[in-house]
Structure 1
Amino acid sequence: MRRLIANGLFRLLLWGAVAVVLFPVFWVVLTSVKPPELSQALPPVWNFTPTLQSYSDVLGGNTYTSQAFGTLMAHSLVVTVASTLLGLIVGVPAAYALARFRFRGKKGTANWILSTIMFPPAVSVVPIFILASKLNLTDTFPCLIVPYAAFGLPMVIWMLRSFIKQIPYEIEEAATVDGASQGAVLWHIVFPLLMPGIVAASLLSAMLAWNEFLFALTLTRSAAKTAPVGISEFTNMYGTQWGSLTAAATVTVAPILVATMLLRRRLVEGLTFGAVK
């Protein structure tokens, strides 16, 4: 009986913590479906007819911002997908080399890559801005894609290196004995077994690129401006458009949330790969 009571109290405590954590999300979604005239009402109005007017205004460009939010979402999607793919194209071979090949300075290289995770991206904004200006790349997709891929690359390499080291090398040796080339081993053996780790690393890298604000604010104006910068524009000299801001925030969070829910099994497999045999 004591154990049942303790478990019940523990579950109640957990659900209370979940409710506290999710309340801001609930409040944002609730405000986004309120009529515009009620979004700033004090005390808050709980009895109202839900409306999608704020979403229509945000996605249709009927706000004080310079661009329709749907365009900014498309920019964010292009930058996120491209930077994630670039990080994987470079990160998978690098992780395989650090996990399987023997060369001088291998341990030092791996430790150096790990140490770069602690490098704060904010300190490189000014140098990257100067370089992008000299190359006439400001307000273009490459000036965001390359830095995003570079900042996510150490995490991708280190995660995938750990996953590759958990794959038995005997499988690759057996494929080599059967006549498979190194490229065939990578494509047909390592890559499928590495898929949970690739999904986990890709999702974390995509989150970093999707949510990044400082570089997008500094390096873009309109042609490559992303959704996080667009959200900040709902606070201006006319005040804060809470209905539009919360609708834009909900639209921005939704893709990552949906992707995480759809890939949650792969994500858990990737993050716990090798932990339990």
Structure 2
Amino acid sequence: MRRFLADTLFRLLLWGAAIIALFPVIWVVLTSIKPPELSQALPPVWDFAPTLQSYRDVLGGNTYTSQAFGTLLMHSLIVTVASTLLGLALGVPAAYALARFRFRGKRGTANWILSTIMFPPAVSVVPVFIFASKLGLTDTFPVLVVPYAAFNLPMVIWMLRSFIKQIPHEIEEAAMVDGASQGAVLRYIVLPLLMPGIVAASLLSAMLAWNEFLFALTLTRSAAKTAPVGISEFTNMYGTQWGSLTAAATVTVAPILLATLVLRRRLVEGLTFGAVK
């Protein structure tokens, strides 16, 4: 009985902590489905008829912002996918080289890549803005894709390097004995075994790129403006459009949340790869 009571109390504490942690998310979702006249009511109104009017206004462009939010979501998707693919295209060969090859300065190179993770991206906003302005790249997708991939690259390399080290080297040697080239070994043997790590690194890189605000605010105007910048525009000279703001925030969070839920098994496998033999 004591153990049952202790387990019940522990579960109640966990549920209470989860509800407290999720309360801001619940508040945002509830506010987004309230009628516009009730979204700013004080005290808050809990008894209301749910409506999707705020979502229709946001996605249809019926707000005080300069662009329809659906367009900004598409910009965010383009930038996130492109920067993630670029980071993987550079990170996988670099991680494989650091994990398998022997060359002079290998340890120093690995430590230098690790040290760049501590570099604050905000410091480089002004130099990147000046460089992009001189090249005429302001308000274009490459001006966001390249910095996002660069800032995510050290994390991708170190994650995948650890995963590659857990793959038995004898498998690659057996393939080379059978006549496979180094490229074929990487393509047909290492990459399939590395897939959990690639999924984990891709999700983390995508989340960082999808949520990034400072570079998108500084380097874009309208042609490449992303969703996080669009959310900030719901607070303007007319006040804060709470219904539209919460609807836009919900729509922005939903894709990453759904992707994490769908790929959660791969994500867990990737983050725990090599922990248990």
Alignment of 1:126-275 (within 5 A): 126-275=126-275
* Distance in 2 of aligned mates of 1:247 and 1:182: 50
Structure 1 residue 10: deviation in Å? 1.4
The two structures have a TM-score, normalised by structure 2, of 0.99
Answer with 131-140 or 106-115: which moved more. 106-115
Deviation track 1:91-132 (CA, whole Å, cap 9, x = no partner) reads 000000000000011111111111111110000000000000
Counterpart Cα distance in 1 of 2:47 and 2:3: 42
Q: Which residue of 1 aligns with 2:72?
A: 72
Give the superposition deviation at 1:3.
Answer: 2.3
| TM superposition outliers: structure 1 runs of 4+ over 3 Å | none
Query: What is the match of residue 85 of structure 1?
Result: 85
**3-state SS of the aligned residue for 1:111?**
helix
- Distance in 1 between residues matched to 2:16 and 2:47, nearest whole Å: 24
Task: State how far apart, in whole Å, the 2-side matches of 1:9 and 1:162 are.
Answer: 39
**C-alpha distance in 2, partners of 1:211/1:119?**
18
TM-score normalised by length of structure 1: 0.99
Displacement after TM superposition at 1:2 (Å): 2.4
How large is the Cα RMSD of the aligned pairs? 0.6
Measure how far apart 1:11 and its partner are: 1.3
Q: Please state whether the residue corresponding to 1:43 is helix, strand or coil.
A: coil
Q: Secondary structure at the match of 2:92?
A: helix
2:234 aligned partner, one-letter code: F
AA partner of residue 111 (structure 1): N
Q: Which runs of 5+ in 2 are unaligned?
A: none
> Aligned partners of 2:274 and 2:3: how far apart in 1?
32
Match of 1:80, as an amino acid?
T
Identity among equivalent positions (%) equals 88
What is the CA deviation profile of residues 8-35 of structure 1, one whole-angstrom value per residue up to 9, with x for unaligned ones? 2111111111101111111100000000
Match of 1:30 in 2: 30
Paired with 2:212 and 2:115, the residues of 1 have a C-alpha distance of 21
- Residues in 2 aligned to 1:6 and 1:166: alpha-carbon distance in whole angstroms: 40
Between the two proteins, the alignment pairs up a number of residues equal to 277
Alignment of 1:4-153 (within 5 A): 4-153=4-153
Distance (whole Å) between structure 2 residues aligned to residue 144 and residue 242 of structure 1:
28
For the residues of structure 2 that align with 1:4 and 1:173, how far apart are their CA atoms? 54
**What is the identity, as a one-letter code, of the residue corresponding to 1:213?**
F
Which whole-Å CA distance do the structure 2 matches of 1:117 and 1:209 have between them? 15
For 2:187 and 2:12, locate their aligned partners in 1 and report how far apart those are by CA, in whole Å: 48
Consecutive unaligned residues of structure 1, counting only runs of 5 or more, are none
Secondary structure at 1:112's aligned position in 2?
Answer: helix
Structure 2 Cα separation of the partners of residues 97 and 69 of structure 1: 42
Tell me which amino acid in the other structure corresponds to 1:22: L
What CA distance in whole angstroms lies between the structure 1 residues aligned with 2:2 and 2:169? 50
Residues 34-67 of structure 1, C-alpha deviation per residue, up to 9 Å, x if partnerless?
0000000011111111100000000000000000
